[in-house]
Amino acid sequence: MHTVVERELELHLVLSPEHSIPVPARLSYRADDPYAVRITFHVGSDHPVNWTFARELLVEGVFRPCGHGDVRVWPTKVGGRGVVLMALSSPDGDALLEAPAAQITAWLERTLRAVPPGTETGELGIDAGLAELLAPPSGLSAPPDRTGAPSPDDLWLRDPWPSDESADGERS
């Protein structure tokens, strides 16, 4: 079972410098997808809006401006309190969201304890999967038939390019 780190919080959709509206959201992190974070926005429709991007982007964005393209993140102060701004762009439109820095930071710290930076690949199981793929086949060889001829499986597993050497070691 993989670790899941979630947090419900209220973000603010910035409509203008003077006006924003609250947007309930859920931050999610799953150890079985260790490089990604997900933000689900509950915007009053039948279907929530989901965004997935690199955890590293959000970690860095708490300290300094980062990202380009669809997701940009940077810290700032609004009314004397620390916030993290997230600019999200998609073909459906753009959004600027403001999140409380303390809540984002606390949640990120929990994800970093669950899967420390640099250990993400271990969570993916790539090494175990490769070992399974590259393991020599076991029990695939069928016994010869009654005539002593090798089974079709044995023929299939043989080297398709016979050696250029004769049986006695001399080249032909």
C-alpha to C-alpha distances, 102 to 81, 147, 148, 154, nearest whole angstrom: 9, 77, 75, 64
Task: Show Cβ contacts of residue 144 under 8 Å, excluding neighbours closer than 6 positions.
Answer: 150, 151, 154
What DSSP string runs through 52-83?
EEEHHHHHHHTTS-EEETTEEEEEEEETTEEE
| Digitized pLDDT (tens) for each residue of the chain, 172 residues in all | 578 999 999 999 999 988 999 999 999 999 988 999 999 998 777 888 899 999 999 999 999 999 988 999 999 998 899 999 999 999 988 999 999 999 999 999 999 998 888 777 766 666 666 667 777 766 555 555 667 666 655 555 555 666 655 555 555 4
What is the dihedral angle through the alpha carbons of 153, 157, 158, 161, rounded to the nearest 10 degrees?
130
The pLDDT value recorded for residue 84 is 97
The pLDDT value recorded for residue 50 is 92
In the block, which residue shows the tokens 């997935």? Answer: 52
The pLDDT value recorded for residue 92 is 87
**Hey, what are 74's tokens?**
């940077």
Q: Which of 12, 8, 34 is nearest to 22 (CA)?
A: 12
What DSSP string runs through 29-47?
EETTSTTEEEEEE--SSSS
What is the dihedral angle through the alpha carbons of 57, 62, 65, 69, rounded to the nearest 10 degrees?
30
Category of 59 on φ-ψ map: left (φ > 0), alpha (ψ -120 to 50) or beta = alpha
The pLDDT value recorded for residue 54 is 94
**CA terminus-to-terminus distance, the chain:** 60
Residue 166 CA from chain centroid, whole number = 53
